[in-house]
Amino acid sequence: MILVGLTGGIATGKSTVARMFKQCGAVVIDADQLAHDVVKPDKPAWREILKTFGKAVLNPDRTLNRQALGAIVFGNRTRLRRLERIIHPRVAREQARLTRQAARKNPKAVVVYDVPLLFEAGVDTRVDKIVVVTADRETQIARLKKRNGLSRAAALRRINSQMPLAEKIARADFVIKGPLTPTARRQQVRSILLALRSPD
């Protein structure tokens, strides 16, 4: 089994690449989904977030209001790190459990761990190979404005809260440079999978 870390900048097309890896036969574990799961109402992480950031981060149904929480932590490194310390260890435990499960099912599985903050959270030390998905800054901004309804300034704050893409590229084993046509992107995914499955 090989564990691959999939990362990139925000709004670089990483989720699309993850879907393609899955369609091509890889097992995909989504860190964002795990992060959603560990902060469900009344779970330990949820209680800790509430204690740290107050009731203003809750929706009427007691789920976390991600927009409100984002407004508090983005642009404030100390608060962002505090939130990460609550969520990341719990996500890591769940990822390890799912990876073991995948390895038991298929000892030759390629497990792709889709994690936006791969380097920032130190996950890069726990994976065998790293794939970085990139896009130019204007593409990122346009996607964030369209997808999240953010202003240009808010989009830039999100982008700048992450490690620069150039640093991620320098530490990658494989780079998928975007924006690409779906066909070109699928070809890249297939060739990366081929290289992973036959490392010799």
Instruction: Give the DSSP letter of residue 124.
Output: G
Mean of the pLDDT values across residues 55-82? 92
Q: What percent of the chain has pLDDT over 90?
A: 82
- Amino acid 99 reads T
160: confidence class by pLDDT, cuts 50, 70, 90: confident
What pTM did the predictor assign? 0.85
What local confidence, expressed as pLDDT, does residue 200 receive?
58
pLDDT, tens digit (0-9, with 9 covering 90-100), for 94-143:
999 999 999 999 999 999 999 988 998 889 999 999 999 999 999 999 99
What are 9's two structure tokens?
A: 């900048």
CA distance 172 to 157: 24
Report pLDDT for 36: 93
| Mean pLDDT across 147-156 | 92
Give the pLDDT score at 85: 92
- What's the full length of the chain, in residues? 200
- Is the pLDDT reported for residue 185 higher than 70? yes
Confidence at residue 158, expressed as pLDDT on a 0 to 100 scale: 87
Map the chain to HEC letters. CEEEEEEECCCCCHHHHHHHHHHCCCEEEEHHHHHHHHCCCCCHHHHHHHHHHCHHHECCCCCECHHHHHHHHCCCHHHHHHHHHHHHHHHHHHHHHHHHHHHHHCCCCEEEEECCCCCCCCHHHHCCEEEEEECCHHHHHHHHHHHHCCCHHHHHHHHHCCCCHHHHHHCCCEEEECCCCHHHHHHHHHHHHHHHHCCC
pLDDT tens column, 11-35: 999 999 999 999 999 999 999 999 9
- pLDDT, mean of residues 40-54: 96
> Residue 199 pLDDT > 80, yes or no?
no
The number of CA neighbours under 13 Å toward the Cβ of 147 is 12
Helix 182-197 × helix 14-23 angle, to 10°: 60
Q: Which domains does the chain have, with CATH numbers?
A: 2-197 (3.40.50.300)
pLDDT greater than 70 at residue 193: yes
Residue 35 near residue 87, CB atoms below 8 Å:
yes
pLDDT at 167 over 80: yes
Span 152-177, mean pLDDT? 92
In the predicted model, what is the mean pLDDT of the chain? 93
Q: Which of 62, 70, 64, 57 is nearest to 10 (CA)?
A: 70
pLDDT number for residue 75: 78
